[in-house]
Structure 1
Amino acid sequence: MTAATDTGTDAAAPRLGAGAGATRTGARRTWTRYVVRRLGVFALSLWLLVTFAFAMIHLIPGDPVRAALGVNASPELVAARRAELHLDEPLLSQYVRYLGDLVSGDWGVSLQSRLPVTQVIAERLPNTLLLAGLTFVVTLLVALPIGTGMAVLTQHGRHRLLELGYTGIAMVVSAIPEFLMGVVLVYVFAVRLELLPIAGNAGPASLVLPVAALSLGSALALSRIVRVELLSVLGRDFVRTARAKRLRPRRVYLRHALPNALTATITLGGLLLSGLIASTVIVESIFAWPGLGPTMVSSIITKDYPLMQAIVLIYGAMVLTITLVVDIALSMLDPRSTIREA
């Protein structure tokens, strides 16, 4: 009887191990299918973006070349510039040529500066990436400690006045547009107090005001999400178990609670970073930061269509890439999201 029981037990163990392995294999396959599907959506969205950028020059009323050169340009110059842009060819031929030029890296020549578009972007894009990246890092470094601290201080209904004051300030500041925040910061810290440069790129000090204008509202908005998510996590059983083991509060909050509250934080953080990419256009123009923002505004005013098309592509591709990276990161942190979408 005992031998039979032992045999049955030993026989059951491999089956349990095989079942666990099959579960892990199925989860990996589900995640792989999800990533492949997201890459497909990314490729389709990128193609639509490229098609929209191509169609821009054809959707604008009137002759874009005449509009860019001015009403006093000679017919010969207009015809030569149209031939240079291949606008005298059939539409399908233009589209095929446009796709081929994008792949080969030939993005055309600026109508105003007569410089290659790729050269203009190569000079300006690093400054925009620096501003957006630094803003995102500052946003996280401000939002996570504030959100975590407010969750710890206000849990179980404590410090009600502190919670109301923090919520009110966060709502007001996060509702202020970045360009208005930039104007206020310039007036206070550059004009009145003369502590920081007003505009331009004169070194690290020139980054302080643009980064502050872009990050203040986003940081407080994100900190509210961190606080709400962390309050939810602090009430779960595994946190109570960690406290019952008499672990240090810092270990409970930082190692057990905070990582489990990051899903919504990463989601909103990705959305904020996408919004920051668009907000840099206006903020860079306010502070005369030598990025893509002032270049895009100038290309719109001067009707520099090749440069405008390229900048639209750059901004759109950055937003699509951020969305893709956030989705894949969430699928790794929370595999249940891939199962729901499978």
Structure 2
Amino acid sequence: MPLPEPIMDARNRPLRDLRISVTDKCNFRCQYCMPAEIFGPDFVFLPQHKLLSFEELARLTRIFASLGVGKIRITGGEPLMRKDLPVLIRMIREVEGVHDIAMTTNGSLLARHARALKEAGLDRVTVSLDSLDEERFGRMNGRGYRVADVLNGIEAAAEAGLGIKLNMVVQRGVNDQDILPMARYFREQKHTLRFIEFMDVGNSNGWKLDQVVPSSEIVRMIHEEMPLEPVDPNYFGEVATRYRYVGEKTEIGLISSVTQAFCSTCTRARLSAEGKLYSCLFASTGDDLRAPLRDGQSDEEIRELIRTIWEKRDDRYSEVRGNATPDLKQRAKVEMSHIGG
């Protein structure tokens, strides 16, 4: 059966991808996402009854699939802190039209869950790792987790047959000295490493433009030691600009939301753990889908609500960041830990 045609937003961008946050909790306290001084021991996370159940998430996935969504990414917080996550993966795998299920994780809990996730139907994992230096990584994750914890998770995922990519958020003066060591290591491991420009997501990460290392600088740095050649995008809306090492299949990617905005091809919607639909990573507010789910609205009614939200979508924050009005610059934005990346 052919896939349904995706719905289009106000800027003619199709809805093809849904990122589902399954929890707002995380065991890391990375400064650019969940700084410990804000998300400390007294911080109150969502109670269980406010989280969407697996049945509700599967139902929403079916509705989104009927609108043309074929790719699902499970996010958090740290998604592996949600109990019995393979059960949800299995439920999503059964949804007609879904052809790709991925998960973003910090990797610290991955070793114990990788095989069960693969058996449930997960296709790929993207593991966040910002340094191979033990002291620096422990300081960056805010909890002293070891690099070895993450590398063990990556190895377990590979052994289970999951596709693997790595994400490194680069901050000048924090971990930019790790760019080449990370590139060398994951080139040897033959895993794709993606470098992410430090972004002004949320309100608590202390973002400053002078801490952004432009992707062009990263490419030049790597190319001088390990020659690179550009690779064409796989599909419309691919976030990363791709390069491969000359003479090899191994790639790197650059996610350049600050210096090379890709709003014009963004096909992603984000669902928070308590059921709010966000049309942009930098959004201030989301539209509540939990209430209509629990108030007994039909699939068709919820489908039309989602269609209306998407067709009105006009977000392009990264494109206008540099010329933003004071009120846009100062407005509160949803935290990345709340809706994933």
Compute the TM-score of the two structures, normalised by the length of structure 1. 0.21
- Higher RCO structure, 1 or 2 (CA under 8 Å, sep 6+): 1
Q: In proportion to residue count, which structure has more helix?
A: 1
Q: In proportion to residue count, which structure has more strand?
A: 2
